[in-house]
Structure 1
Amino acid sequence: MLMRPRCIPCLLTRVLYETELVNPALAPKTLKEATRIISERYDGNQNSAELATEVHRRVYEILGTDPYKEIKKRSNQVALSLLPKVESIVKNSEDKLYASALSSIIGNILDFGVQRVFEKPEDMIEGFDKIFKEGLAVNDLPKAKKFFENGKRVLYFTDNCGEIVFDKLLVREISRLGAKVTLVVKGGDILTDATIDDALALSFTEVADSIITTGSNAVGVSFKEMGRELANALKDYDIIVSKGMANYESFSDSGYKPILYLMRIKCDSIAEDTELKREISIAKLEVN
């Protein structure tokens, strides 16, 4: 997805947010550097995830630490506190694929430093029932199900901490249907995205056939920086499951298909690009 003009103030707002998490006094420097990079690079033809990666990497250099470290830890803790409830919902559902997919999207309602709606890990508790009752505004899961059967190869790209706790339920269900699932997590710290440490701590080896990384800490997926494991996996798969908006930004103009997008649409740019509304949950399959 190309970066739209409205994405720029959103990106700068996130830069300010993560700076204030570490040291508010550094805000003039981080904002100046972010603005410099945007002014030098932005001409309307950049992939939004690529430019965001460049900005956040420079901000992390200035901050000297991962600003989201504690938030990621809390997000997983809060999600784990909800897990028994969510497991019960999935277990008692007539459509376990639907229930586990929707539950996995709900962790994505958290949006630190941008929307200011669900911005604390604890907000997940308040928001879960509301979002679950809303259901999926786009539900292509019945059409996607055939890609999860008979030994099909699934590449499952995770998104955020907290959310990844519920991803385990969906990966378990996809595996139960007969698929071979490769979990793909970030190769390094960026924003609140899950890494190999999160996947191992949550025992994803119990439900996934293998776990690999994107090969870098790029926002979404950098196909220029991906490691050999991911490059090989992207040559031999039956379907990609893409969680969250950043992965959508990377994959939407990549040509990799079939792909199932699972996400909460939280911004006007994604809504415009998908030709859907904001504040809805979707399971959108693209085959051609």
Structure 2
Amino acid sequence: MRTFPQCLPCLMDQAVRNLQRLPESVHEPFLRRCLQFLAGADYRLSPPQLARTVFDLMEEYTGERDPYQEEKAFSNRFVSSMEEELRQLIMHSHDPFVTALKLAITGNIIDLGVNRDFSHHDLAEEIRRAIELPLSPEAIERLRQAVDHAQRILYLADNCGEIVFDKLFLEQLPEERITLAVRGEPVLNDVTPRDLAHLSLPPGLRLIDNGTNYPGTVLQFCSPEFLECWQQADLIIAKGQGNFETLEGENKHIFFLLKAKCTVVARFLGCNLGEPVIHEQVPE
């Protein structure tokens, strides 16, 4: 998905919100460089591709490779503290697959790039409402059937905290057929291999990273290992808006699971702002 004019204020807002991490003496030069970059950027690229440069500038000025490390660790701890309760909720529900799916989409609220007003109190409220999520029954069944028939499933994770919900959903899937992919390097609160150190994933699945620090999946820069898994997979499950923005239009069978967090994506998907979405992309 290309960058639209409405994306530019959001990209600059991310820069402004990060000023608190910088000494006041460099606020102006940092913002000027962000503005200069966006003024000359190629808007045929996806928003996450432009966002990465903004975050690279942030790293240059702070010297911090992983500025969201504390927030990421807290998100994982917070959701992990509810993990067994959520697992019991899933196990005792009428349809564990659907309940785990709804919780996985609910977890997509944890996004420090787009969802600037997120708080963990919001997440607790969202969990209470998760079972009533208005998801299309037809889309749910298409996903269920695709999972049943797929031989190799590539699951693209998104954020810390959210990954605990993903773990619960993955427990409902045939783990021996699944490869879980995370980001290769830190960006925002996106999950990396390091962030999984204290999480016990389903033992049968394979874990890889994509080799990049884009807040999405930009195939031309992904590692050979990731690209091999991408080519071999007959089903992709992609979490979050960044993965949708970077993979929309790719000629693969993809189910995007996300909440539409901005008006551009909501309009693109034909849904309401904040609405949970299962969007199927079928190859030609």
Using the size of structure 1 for normalisation, the TM-score is 0.90
Unaligned runs of 5+ in 1: none
Residue of structure 1 equivalent to 2:8: 8
Residue 155 of structure 1 corresponds to which residue in structure 2? Answer: 154
Name whichever of 259-268 and 133-142 sits farther off: 133-142
Distance 2:120 2:39 in 1: 33
1:275 counterpart letter in structure 2? G
Partner of 1:107: 107
Q: Determine the structure 2 residue equivalent to 1:261.
A: 256
Contact 1:157 1:240 in 2 (8 A): yes
Residue 194 of structure 2 is aligned to residue 197 of structure 1: yes
Mapped partners of 1:26, 1:95: distance in 2: 53
Aligned to 2:223: 227
Residue in 1 aligned with 2:33?
A: 33
Q: Distance in 1 between matches of 2:259 and 2:110?
A: 10
1:120 deviation in Å? Answer: 2.4
After superposition, give the CA deviation of every residue in 1:108-131 in whole Å (9 maximum; x if it has no partner): 1134364444x2234312332134
Can you list the C-alpha shifts for 1:175-227, whole angstroms capped at 9, x where unaligned?
Answer: 26xx600000000000110001223421225252x111111111201212111
Q: 1:259 to 1:114 in 2, by over 3 A?
A: closer
Assess, with a 3 A threshold, how the Cα gap between structure 1 residues 138 and 11 changes in structure 2: closer, same or farther. farther
8 Å contact from structure 2 (residues 90, 100) kept in 1:
yes
Secondary structure in 2 aligned to 1:170?
Answer: helix
Q: 1:272 aligns with which of 228, 249, 267?
A: 267
1:278 counterpart SS class: coil
1:283 matched to 2:282: no
2:87 partner letter = E
Residues 241 and 260, structure 2, Cα contact 8 Å, conserved in 1: yes
| Identical residues among aligned pairs (%) | 27
Match of 1:126 in 2: 125
Matching of residue 188 in structure 1 with residue 185 in structure 2? yes
Change (3 A) 1:222 1:116: closer
1:33–1:144 distance in 2 versus 1, CA, 3 Å: same
Closer, same or farther in 2 for the Cα pair 1:174/1:113, shift >3 Å?
Answer: closer
2:213 to 217, 226, 230: 217
Name 2:237's counterpart in structure 1: 241
Residue 19 of structure 1 pairs with residue 19 of structure 2 = yes
Task: Decide which moves more: 257-266 or 79-88.
Answer: 79-88
Q: Secondary structure at the match of 1:211?
A: strand
Which one is further off, 153-162 or 102-111? 102-111
In terms of mean alpha carbon deviation, does 265-274 or 195-204 score higher? 195-204
The 3 A distance-change label for structure 1 pair 29 and 253 is: farther
What SS class does the counterpart of residue 155 from structure 1 fall into? strand
Question: 1:156·1:182 contact (CA, 8 Å) conserved in 2?
Answer: yes
Q: Work out the CA distance in 2 between the residues paired with 1:175 and 1:85.
A: 22
Tell me how far apart the structure 2 counterparts of residues 233 and 134 of structure 1 sit (CA, whole Å).
Answer: 32
Say what the alpha-carbon RMSD is for the aligned residues: 2.0
Does the 8 Å CA contact 2:183/2:211 hold for their aligned counterparts?
yes
Q: Quick one: distance in 2 between partners of 1:60 and 1:284?
A: 34
Which secondary structure state, in structure 2, belongs to the residue aligned with residue 183 of structure 1? strand
Paired with 1:246 and 1:108, the residues of 2 have a C-alpha distance of 11
Letter of the 1:181 partner, please give it: I
**Any idea what SS the aligned residue of 1:234 has?**
helix
Residues 27/102 of structure 1: CA separation in 2 closer, same or farther (3 Å cut) = farther
Cα gap change, 1:197 to 1:56, in 2 (>3 Å): same
Query: Contact conserved, 1:90 with 1:100, CA < 8 A, in 2?
Result: yes
SS of the residue aligned with 2:255? strand
Amino acid at match of 2:95: D
Q: How many residues align?
A: 282
Give, as a single letter, the amino acid of the residue that structure 2 aligns with 1:53: R
